Amino acid sequence: MPTSSQNFAPGTYKFTVQSADQAVALIREKLGAHARVISVRTIEASGLKKFFTAPRLEVVAQVDPIITAPAESAPAEMIRDSARADDVTPPSTNRLTQLPPSIGLTGLLRRSGITETALNRLQSGANWPELNSLPLHRALAETSRLLRTQAEPRTPRPPLSRAAFLGAPGVGRTTALCKWIAVEVFRRSRTGHIVSVEFDRPNPLGPLPVFAEALGVPLAHFPCETQPAVPGGFVYFDLPGISVRRPADNAALAAWLDRELVQERVLVLNAAYDRASLREAYAAGRDLGATRLVFTHLDEVPQWGKLWDYLFDEDLEPLFLSTGPSLTGDCEDDVPGAIVRRTLPDDDSSSTP
């Protein structure tokens, strides 16, 4: 197939891709740098496939008969704006390493989205003057390793097997539960069951019943057995949304967790929320005894640096990041590593002098 719009017949072309970045690459390779994106539409799979397949993008592009010289990055920007896709920058072309050195290490870290709390933590370290004396690309790589080192040391905990998923309405709590059950079934070959619980307010199940049936995982409604039904099996609890601004509304939920001896409590947070809302939801989860942490909607967040603050809390172990809407997959369990890759280069080979 021709690789330039100069040799490709003028007209309108439609194709389906997995992501915005794939669409950009395809347009430039097949239609040429001057092709125009006319529209982008999200296509979801039908039936049970929608629980196992991420939505795709239908892209319509135009090759004009008269060659003009629009900015080469225009197709990428149009696709990303229309599809709300991640602004992924590979480590080898990390924008931070392309900025003038005069901006300094502190300025670059702020541009990466890192919070003042995390920055102050770095600046208070004994090796901060040494970092600032290094060439910029090496300073960034060393800072990446330092952040990851500070976020990773924790007291080892047994694997999750009996836990409640907590979160405010709309954060993707049930989707996060489905993703984790898929990990248990497909990656770890474990069996178990799910328990849905309601209190004084309803707990909409959404896709959970169909998803559980598709995976062969029993879904029970409390009151029922809350202990594993098979040796080494799991039990996960789908609870109503917690109240962020009225802690008293969570009293019944907290009492139930204590009464049923549910020690593991997974707090689900929507990473697309602003920092103040994130802090409020985080505090509400801590009050309910959260022990693990999941961030959702990372596909809608251009900068992940604000998440570092939550990784420094040793009482809450990061479980995974939800990087897409699919009920299976789109799941990153190397949380510090993923945030490093999305903010700073993590080795000298991924930087440019």
pLDDT at 81 over 70: no
pLDDT band at 88 (very low <50, low <70, confident <90, very high): very low
Are 145 and 346 in contact by the 8 Å Cβ rule? The answer is: yes
Rg (CA), the chain: 23
- Range with lowest mean pLDDT among 20-24, 38-42, 168-172, 231-235: 38-42
Phi–psi pair at 59, nearest 5 degrees: -115, 135
> Does residue 83 or residue 107 have the better pLDDT?
107
pLDDT at 162 over 90: yes
In sequence order, what are the beta bridge partners of 266? 165, 292
pLDDT at 34 over 70: no
> Does residue 77 or residue 293 have the better pLDDT?
293
CA angle 152, 182, 176 (to 5 degrees): 60
pTM (2 d.p.): 0.69
> In the sheet that 36-43 helps form, which strands lie side by side, from edge to edge?
11-17, 56-63, 36-43
Question: pLDDT by residue (tens digit) across 93-152?
Answer: 344 444 444 467 888 888 878 888 888 988 888 889 998 888 888 888 888 888 888 887
Question: pLDDT by residue (tens digit) across 169-214?
Answer: 999 999 999 999 999 999 999 999 999 999 877 788 888 999 999 9
CA distance 324 to 298: 7
Phi–psi pair at 68, nearest 5 degrees: -115, 180
